Amino acid sequence: MPTRKATARAHPNIALIKYWGNRDDNLRIPVNGSISINLAGLETITTVNFSKAIAEDRLMLNGEQQAGETTGRVSRHLDHIRHLAGINLPADVQSRNNFPTGTGIASSASAFAALTAAACSALDLHPAEADLSALARLGSGSACRSVPGGFTEWHVGVDHQTSHATGIAPAEHWNLVDLVTIVSREHKIIGSTEGHRLADTSPLQAARIADTPRRLDICRAAILERDFEALADIIEQDALMMHAVLLTSRPTLIYWLPATLSIIQAVQTWRSDGIPAAFTIDAGPNVHVISTTEYRNKLNTLLGEIKGVQSVLTTGIGGPAHVISEHLDN
Ligand code: DP6
């Protein structure tokens, strides 16, 4: 019998234009398109082994056996891939992140991108990149953007097949860095999946969605032209629009801490002083400061001086999800 085992690696990503809210929660078809960058150096490596020797799906995450909903979400995702392959074997999944959890870097994107790539390869499915991206989306929406490399855009599409991400530019296109500035390591009270369902409770969500094509166009053009000022302006507006929706949802989602606002204000001052720096914030209190490699050390120092900053993790732009030959054996 052929071995039905494969390992894949994927990077997490940070959205520059955010995904918030679904048109179809089950298929994770979003209400608006989004753009992100993959984060180099940070990665999830996942080995999937489909085998008759085990009774049911098993998931080992960072060396710890998982149970309950975490395993359930992975199992339901593998069902889509088993269905495509016409194979109904349980899977042993071993996954490791080289970045700490609860640091403002969503692990679900790299996790589901790596899981999808490994499971497809193990079952001898070799989908085109767009189809792999659409499949990864079923596990976690933002995972579809971790499939292509570099700067990627998730197109809303009209159905499962057409809602996927494609590359805007490869990682080498622009030497941007993301200084992930940690102000809290506490777990979020409301995670993204639940948050997406609340988006429509804000009267501001409709306006945010209606304006998204404009923000996407400006962001895409700024990336292609390597225009930092234009990029900074649009990504900050986009992040603030998402947080305006969060703040005005029911229940209210207030993720910011005092240090979050201190960083926002510092970044805007630095930029008016000529330093290329821009902030973006996901559904949490930690701030991603986007800049260029030349300013990485200077910003690292400046950020470290702000009251409430616990640590700063710096990353560049990462490549696509891909299958690798070595396997994880915890
Ligand atoms: C605020 O992709 O984590 O980070 O599809 O339920 O897994 P699920 O949600 P997820 O949502 C990400 C939300 C965000 C913005 C973004 O990454 O675009």
CA-nearest residue, atom 17 of ligand 1 = 15
pLDDT number for residue 102:
63
Token pair in block for residue 227: 């225009």
Evaluate if residue 106 carries a pLDDT over 90: no
CA of 64 to the centre of ligand 1 (A): 24
How would residue 192 be classed by pLDDT, with cut points 50, 70 and 90? confident
Best mutation site among 26, 192, 235 for ligand 1, i.e. most ligand atoms within 8 A of its Cβ? 192
Instruction: Answer yes or no: is the C-beta of 196 below 6 A from any ligand 1 atom.
Output: yes
Token pair in block for residue 57: 């799906």
How would residue 206 be classed by pLDDT, with cut points 50, 70 and 90? very high
Instruction: Domains for the chain: give ranges and CATH numbers.
Output: 1-330 (3.30.230.10)
pLDDT number for residue 147:
98
**CA 136 centroid distance within chain:** 11
Segment 257-288, tens digit of pLDDT: 999 999 999 999 999 999 999 999 999 999 99
In order of 38, 161, 174, the CA distances from 226 in angstroms are 17, 31, 7
Instruction: Answer yes or no: is the C-beta of 142 below 6 A from any ligand 1 atom.
Output: yes
Provide, rounded to the nearest whole percent, the portion of the chain with pLDDT above 70.
98
Strand locations in the chain, DSSP E?
A: 5-10, 13-17, 22-24, 29-30, 34-38, 44-50, 58-61, 64-65, 91-97, 151-154, 165-169, 176-182, 278-280, 287-292, 311-315, 322-324
Instruction: Answer yes or no: is the C-beta of 193 below 6 A from any ligand 1 atom.
Output: yes
Closest approach atom of ligand 1 to CA 18: 18
Which of 11, 47, 53, 44 has its CA nearest to residue 327? 47
Cα 45 to Cα 162: distance, rounded to the nearest angstrom: 27
Sheet holding 311-315, edge to edge: 278-280, 287-292, 176-182, 311-315
Segment 20-40, tens digit of pLDDT: 999 999 999 999 999 999 999
User: What residue has token string 């891939």?
Assistant: 81
Mean pLDDT (the chain, rounded): 95
pLDDT number for residue 295:
98
Token pair in block for residue 323: 């299958």
